[in-house]
Chain A
Amino acid sequence: MTPLTGYLLVAALLFAMGLAGALVRRNAILVLIGIELMLNAANLNFIAFWRYGPHPEALTGMMFAIFSIAIAAAEAAVGLGLVIAIYRHAQTTDLDKMNRMKG
Chain B
Amino acid sequence: MQEAISFTPQLAASPITGILWLIPVLPIVASGVIALLTQPKRKAAATLSIGSLGVSLLLSLVAFVHVVAGWAHGVAVRETVNFNWLQFGATNVELGWILDPLSAIMLVMVSFVGLLIFIYSVGYMEHDENFTRFFCFLSLFAGAMVGVVISNSILLLFMNWELVGLTSYLLIGFWYQKPSAAAAAKKAFLTTRVGDVFFLLGMVWLFAQSGTLLFYNHGAGSMEGWALAGLLSEHAAFGLTAAGAIGLLIFAGAAGKSGQLPLHVWLPDAMEGPTPVSALIHAATMVAAGVYLVARVYPLMQAGALTGGTTTALTVVTWVGASTAVFAALIAVAQNDVKRILAYSTVSQLGYMMAGLGLGGVAVGMFHLITHAFFKALLFMGAGSVIHGCHEEQDVRRMGGLWSKMPLTFATYAIGMLALCGFPLVFSGFWSKDGILEAAQHWSVAKTPFYMLVFGALLTAFYMTRQVSYVFFGHFRGHKTAHESPSVMTVPLAILAFFAIALGVIGTPAWPWFRAFLEGRAAGFDLHGFAEPGLLALMATSSLVVFLGLGLGWSLYGNKSPKAEAPDALEASVPWIWVVLHNKFYVDEFYGVTVIAFYAWWARVADWLDRRVWGGAVTGVAWSFGLWAQLNRFLDTSVVDGGFDKGCEELSTGGGLLAQVESGRVQTYLRILALAVVALVAILIWSARA
The answer to whether A and B touch directly, with their CB atoms under 8 angstroms apart, is yes
State the A residues within 8 Å of B (CB).
Answer: 19, 22-23, 28, 31, 95-96, 98-103
Q: Is the CB of B667 within 8 A of A99?
A: no
- With CB as the reference atom, state the residue of chain B lying closest to A35: B670
Chain B residues numbered 628-678 whose CB sits less than 8 Å from any CB in chain A: 661-667, 670-671, 674
Distance of A100 Cα from B664 Cα, bound (Å)? 6
Contacts of A102 in B (CB 8 A): 662-665
Report the minimal beta-carbon distance from B617 to chain A, rounded to whole angstroms: 16
Distance of A31 Cα from B666 Cα, bound (Å)? 10
Report the minimal beta-carbon distance from A28 to chain B, rounded to whole angstroms: 8
State the B residues within 8 Å of A (CB).
Answer: 661-667, 670-671, 674
Contact of A99 with B665 at beta-carbon distance under 8 Å, contacts A23-B670, A23-B674 already known: yes
Contacts of B662 in A (CB 8 A): 102-103
Q: Is the CB of A23 within 8 A of B663?
A: no
Distance of A28 Cα from B661 Cα, bound (Å)? 20
Q: Is the CB of B667 within 8 A of A22?
A: yes
Contacts of A28 in B (CB 8 A): 666
Q: Is the CB of A23 within 8 A of B671?
A: yes
Report the minimal beta-carbon distance from B598 to chain A, rounded to whole angstroms: 37
Q: What are 18 A-B pairs with beta-carbon distances under 8 A?
A: A19-B670, A22-B670, A23-B667, A23-B671, A23-B674, A31-B667, A31-B670, A95-B665, A95-B667, A98-B664, A98-B666, A100-B664, A101-B664, A102-B662, A102-B663, A102-B665, A103-B662, A103-B663
Set A19, A23, A31, A103: member contacting B664, Cβ < 8 A: A103
Report the minimal beta-carbon distance from A48 to chain B, rounded to whole angstroms: 18
Distance of A99 Cα from B662 Cα, bound (Å)? 10
Given contacts A31-B666, A31-B670, A102-B663, 12 further A-B contacts (CB under 8 A): A19-B670, A19-B674, A22-B667, A23-B667, A23-B674, A95-B665, A98-B665, A99-B663, A100-B664, A102-B662, A102-B665, A103-B662
Distance of A95 Cα from B674 Cα, bound (Å)? 18
Report the minimal beta-carbon distance from A75 to chain B, rounded to whole angstroms: 15
Distance of A23 Cα from B663 Cα, bound (Å)? 15
Distance of A91 Cα from B686 Cα, bound (Å)? 47
Contacts of B674 in A (CB 8 A): 19, 23
Distance of A12 Cα from B328 Cα, bound (Å)? 73
Q: Is the CB of A99 within 8 A of B664?
A: yes
Q: Is the CB of B665 within 8 A of A96?
A: yes
Contacts of B666 in A (CB 8 A): 28, 31, 95, 98
Distance of A100 Cα from B674 Cα, bound (Å)? 23
Distance of A22 Cα from B664 Cα, bound (Å)? 16
Contacts of A100 in B (CB 8 A): 664
Contacts of A23 in B (CB 8 A): 667, 670-671, 674
Report the minimal beta-carbon distance from B12 to chain A, rounded to whole angstroms: 38
Distance of A96 Cα from B667 Cα, bound (Å)? 9
- With CB as the reference atom, state the residue of chain A lying closest to B661: A103
Distance of A22 Cα from B670 Cα, bound (Å)? 8
Report the minimal beta-carbon distance from A83 to chain B, rounded to whole angstroms: 11
Contacts of B665 in A (CB 8 A): 95-96, 98-99, 102
Report the minimal beta-carbon distance from A25 to chain B, rounded to whole angstroms: 9
Distance of A103 Cα from B664 Cα, bound (Å)? 6
Distance of A31 Cα from B664 Cα, bound (Å)? 16
- Please indicate which of the listed interface residues B662, B664, B667 has the most CB atoms of chain A within 10 Å of its own CB: B667
Contacts of A99 in B (CB 8 A): 663-665
Distance of A101 Cα from B663 Cα, bound (Å)? 8
Distance of A19 Cα from B320 Cα, bound (Å)? 66
Contacts of A98 in B (CB 8 A): 664-666
Distance of A8 Cα from B663 Cα, bound (Å)? 34
Report the minimal beta-carbon distance from A96 to chain B, rounded to whole angstroms: 7
User: What 4 pairs across the A-B complex have the smallest Cβ distances?
Assistant: A103-B662, A102-B664, A99-B664, A101-B664
Distance of A61 Cα from B667 Cα, bound (Å)? 30
Distance of A98 Cα from B670 Cα, bound (Å)? 15
Distance of A78 Cα from B31 Cα, bound (Å)? 35
Distance of A31 Cα from B674 Cα, bound (Å)? 14
Distance of A88 Cα from B510 Cα, bound (Å)? 83
- With CB as the reference atom, state the residue of chain B lying closest to A20: B674
- With CB as the reference atom, state the residue of chain A lying closest to B665: A99
Contacts of A103 in B (CB 8 A): 661-664
Contacts of A96 in B (CB 8 A): 665
Report the minimal beta-carbon distance from B514 to chain A, rounded to whole angstroms: 56
Contacts of B671 in A (CB 8 A): 23
Distance of A98 Cα from B671 Cα, bound (Å)? 16
Report the minimal beta-carbon distance from B87 to chain A, rounded to whole angstroms: 16
Contacts of A19 in B (CB 8 A): 670, 674
Distance of A98 Cα from B667 Cα, bound (Å)? 10
Distance of A31 Cα from B667 Cα, bound (Å)? 9
- Please indicate which of the listed interface residues A19, A28, A100 has the most CB atoms of chain B within 10 Å of its own CB: A19
Distance of A22 Cα from B663 Cα, bound (Å)? 17
Distance of A103 Cα from B660 Cα, bound (Å)? 9
Distance of A22 Cα from B674 Cα, bound (Å)? 11
Distance of A102 Cα from B661 Cα, bound (Å)? 9
Report the minimal beta-carbon distance from B677 to chain A, rounded to whole angstroms: 9
Distance of A44 Cα from B661 Cα, bound (Å)? 33
Contacts of B663 in A (CB 8 A): 99, 102-103
Contacts of B670 in A (CB 8 A): 19, 22-23, 31
Distance of A19 Cα from B677 Cα, bound (Å)? 12
Contacts of B661 in A (CB 8 A): 103
Report the minimal beta-carbon distance from A87 to chain B, rounded to whole angstroms: 15
Report the minimal beta-carbon distance from B450 to chain A, rounded to whole angstroms: 64
Distance of A92 Cα from B666 Cα, bound (Å)? 15
- With CB as the reference atom, state the residue of chain A lying closest to B669: A101
Report the minimal beta-carbon distance from A42 to chain B, rounded to whole angstroms: 12
Distance of A95 Cα from B671 Cα, bound (Å)? 14
Distance of A102 Cα from B662 Cα, bound (Å)? 6
Contacts of A22 in B (CB 8 A): 667, 670
- With CB as the reference atom, state the residue of chain B lying closest to A28: B666
- With CB as the reference atom, state the residue of chain A lying closest to B674: A19
Report the minimal beta-carbon distance from A50 to chain B, rounded to whole angstroms: 20
Report the minimal beta-carbon distance from B270 to chain A, rounded to whole angstroms: 43
